[in-house]
Each structure stands twice: as C-alpha cells, then as structure tokens.
Amino acid sequence: MIKPVGSDTLQPLFVYDTDKHHELRHEAENLPSVTISSQAAGNAVMMGAGYFSPLKGFMNVADAMGAAEKMTLTDGSFFPVPVLCLLDDTDAIKDARRIALRDPNMEGNPVLAVMDIEAIEEVSDEQMAVMTEKVYRTTDGDHPGVAAFNSQGRFAVSGPIQVLHFSYFQDDFPDTFRTAVEIRNEIAERGWKKVVAFQTRNPMHRAHEELCHMAMERLGCDGLVIHMLLGKLKPGDIPAPVRDGAIRKMVELYFPPNSAMVTGYGFDMLYAGPREAVLHAYFRQNMGATHFIIGRDHAGVGDYYGAFDAQTIFQEEVPEGAMEIEIFNADHTAYSKKLNKVVMMCEAPDHTKDDFVLLSGTKVREMLGQGIAPPAEFSRPEVAQILMDYYQSLNG
C-alpha cells in the first residue's frame, strides 16, 4: 500500500489507548481551557484522524508562514497550508504550559484535545495578509475562505496535541465519517491495490458518476473511495445527510459490488482552489489512495481561480517528490447527445455546447424545488428523487 506522506507509518494524534484516554479526559477537566475556532477544530479532527500525518500539532508562525509561502516547514518537511490555532485573547490560559481545547461546534463545548503549549505568538496584520494571499490567491473579504480565516483571533498558540474526540462528525455521521486509519484498513481488507479517490461537497450527478467510472477504467483501479466533506459549507450548499443518502443510492444501483466505498471526513471547506487541491491530495495519500481525481475548478468558489489552476499547481509549485499520489486530471464532463454517453468535453472536439446536456446549478435547484426531475442524462432518477424530497421540504 502507498506510504503516508513523509513517513513509513501513519501517525494519527487520537488517543486510542483506553486507560490513557480516560486519564487525559479526567486531567483535561482541570486544565485551563479555551474554545477554539471551527477552522482550528477541523484541523484538530484531521490531525486526530491521521489525515494530516505526520504533523504533531498546531504550527508556530514560522512554520505557518513557510507552509503558506513555499509549502515547506522550517524543518524542511512538506505541508501545503498553515495549520493554526488562532485565539482572540489568551487571558484564560495566561502562563499555562498545558491546556484543553474545547469544541465550538458541539453543545457544552466538550474537550476536543489537550495541547502542550510551545509558543504563543501574536500574528501581525502583514503576516495574516501574506498567508491569506498565498493560500487563497486573494485577500478579498467576500471570499468565504478568506473571511473565515481572517475572522479568527491574532494569537497563534502552537504545540503538540492529543486528540480525545472527533467532534460532531462521529456522532452525526456514524456510517460515513472515517479516519485515515480506518480507510487504510478497509482498503487492505478489500484487497485493493490501486485506489482512486473522489472529493465531493455536493451530491453526485451522472457526470460525476461517469467520471469515477472513467478514472477507474483508465487507471486500472481496483476500487474507488468517494470521500465527502462533512464540515461547514457555504449557505445554500446541500446538507451532508442528504448528500450522503443520494450518493449511497447511486453507488448501490450503479457501481459493481466491492468497487466503491462511501466515506466522509470532518473538516470545514476552505474554498482555496489550487492550494486546497494540494491539501486534498495530501490527505488522500495518507488514507491510502494511489490516485486522486481533480477536475475543473476543484475546491474553487466564484471567479477567483482559473478553470485548471488546481491541476497545474502540481507541476508548477508543489516541491518535487513531496507526494507519491498521482493526479488524474479531468475536464468538465457532460452527457453527449451525439454519442449517447457521458464524455469529457475536451475529448469531444467536434461538439458544440448544444450537443451536451448542460444545466446550471441554479436551474437544477429550481427544477428540484418544483418537484421536476432533471433529465435522466443529467441525474439518475433515484438520486433526483432524494434531492426533490429535500428541496420540497424547504418549501414547506
């Protein structure tokens, strides 16, 4: 199986030993504590689950700046984005060397992790601006990722963490949330050697489904891991339980047995386009995928990124040898009326736009809200039914 990034073995930060876990929980109740941001909580979950292996905890400012500017930490190791724990103030922790990090996304703010503080540093406006520009390629406050990153505090608390909980993800999505450890184990149990991963924050329409089949066939893969984001999205995105139900129905009906796993991970979307594509590839290698599909405008939002920037970044900016996972570059896929099948649009040069079944997201949402199923060439009827039920429930 493919090795994790930068290490021979995966290094999840979740405390699996029952006695040690119980001991730490007890200790945490008496430690100075802070409720961290949703973004920091997502980072802690990803470290606990092994996706960010071999990170040991939250970065200091020098490492965060290195990750932002050249995807390299001060020790020379590779990581594509800053992983910070930013606080508004540090009054609650004063001179403490060991603290509890509390979850902002669960009632009662339970302890998510215990941290050994190595440094507390104030991040300057200039440093925030550099990190924002490098990661998001914009400092526009209307960009949802930029807004979320900059709405956190300016005190960076860094040091190793021990994770005690997977936030609401494990509780709310017990059938879908999986750690990198669990996915690696399941890939091994299924006997898969070549595995392609597909990232989604939306339900999968016919074009996505066929793209996965296409990638599996062309790469000669044994299996596909559909890996959906379960964290915070932007307003208007479809909630995770609805997406989950729609994707499971599609796999059940349109994929051969033992060819696809439906899983999810706990993280807030950054909408950082190219840089987030690199992060996505990073943690897909850690979960055991050998290949990763990156399509047009991967992890983008608005008009901030070029259509294929998330593909070219791997040749132009990622340090050579940083990751072993291979990228399957995909163009926009759509149903061809001429060929009666889904194709990559770049592979049908004799087609005009009118030769494809193309519907905007807005148009699809309107149709679903009115109880009108999109054409079968666009969306499987069983999937459309689940989405129609959801949209009609919104309309009362």
pLDDT by residue (tens digit) across 283-309? 999 999 999 999 988 998 989 999 999
CA torsion through residues 5, 7, 13, 15, sign: positive
Tens digit of each residue's pLDDT (9 = 90 or more) over 271-282: 999 999 999 999
Q: Are residues 275 and 162 in the same domain?
A: no
- Structure confidence at residue 234 (pLDDT): 66
Same domain, 190 and 146: no
Domain end position, chosen among 171, 188, 206: 171
Q: Tell me, what CATH number does 70's domain have?
A: 3.10.400.10
The reply to whether 102 and 224 lie within a common domain is: no
Indicate if 267 and 305 belong to the same structural domain: yes
Question: Of 201, 248, 329, 365, which residue is the catalytic one?
Answer: 201
Alpha-carbon torsion angle 12, 34, 100, 28, nearest 10? -140
Say if CB 328 and CB 196 are below 8 A apart. yes
Answer whether residue 112 is part of any domain.
Answer: yes
What is the pLDDT, as a whole number, of residue 304? 96
Q: Are residues 191 and 287 in the same domain?
A: yes
pLDDT score at 363: 87
Q: Give the pLDDT score at 61.
A: 98
Provide the domain count of the chain: 2
Assign 3-class secondary structure to 103-153.
Answer: CCCCCCCCEEEEEECCEEEECCHHHHHHHHHHHHCCCCCCCHHHHHHHCCC
245 and 366 fall within a common domain: yes
Mean pLDDT, rounded, for 220-247: 86
Cα–Cα distance measured from residue 269 to residue 298, given in angstroms and rounded to the nearest whole number? 12
pLDDT at 395 over 80: no
Residue 72 and residue 136 in one domain: yes
In a domain, 56, yes or no: yes
**Stated pTM of the model:** 0.94
From the DSSP assignment, how many helices (H) and strands (E) are in the chain? 13, 15
Residue 5 lies in a domain: no
Looking at residue 118, its pLDDT comes to 97
In a domain? residue 23 = yes
pLDDT digits (tens, 9 = 90+) for 24-56: 999 999 999 999 999 999 999 999 999 999 999
pLDDT recorded at residue 231: 80
User: CB of 327 within 8 A of CB of 314?
Assistant: yes
Distant-in-sequence, close-in-space partners of 127: CB < 8 Å, separation ≥ 6: 61, 65
Residue 8 lies in a domain: no
Residue 237 has pLDDT above 80, yes or no: no
Domain-terminating residue out of 171, 196, 230:
171
- How buried is 31 (Cβ within 10 angstroms: 0-12 exposed, 13-18 middle, 19+ buried)? middle
Choose the catalytic residue: 25, 98, 109, 202: 202
Tell me what pLDDT residue 15 has.
98
Mean per-residue pLDDT over the chain, rounded:
94
CATH number, domain with residue 375: 3.40.50.620
Residue 131 token pair: 């990190």
What confidence category does residue 220 fall into, taking pLDDT thresholds of 50, 70 and 90?
A: very high
**Do 269 and 152 share a domain, yes or no?**
no
User: Can you tell me whether residue 272 is helix, strand or coil?
Assistant: coil
Residue 26 belongs to some domain of the structure? yes
Same domain, 142 and 101: yes
Q: Is residue 202 annotated as a catalytic residue, yes or no?
A: yes
Look up the domain containing 144 and give its range: 18-171
Domain-ending residue, one of 142, 171, 200: 171
7 part of a folded domain = no
Q: Is pLDDT above 90 for 394?
A: no
State pLDDT tens for residues 136-177: 999 999 999 999 999 999 999 999 999 999 999 998 889 899
Looking at the structure, tell me whether residues 254 and 115 fall in a common domain: no
Q: Is the pLDDT of residue 238 over 70?
A: yes
Closest CA to 53 of 290, 322, 286: 286
pLDDT digits (tens, 9 = 90+) for 336-386: 999 999 999 989 999 998 999 988 878 888 888 889 999 999 999 999 999
**Residues 151 and 194 placed together within one structural domain of the fold:** no
Task: Say whether 201 is catalytic.
Answer: yes
Tokens representing residue 26 in the block: 């007890």
Residue 204 covered by a domain: yes
Question: How large a percentage of the chain has pLDDT more than 70?
Answer: 99
Q: Are residues 90 and 232 in the same domain?
A: no
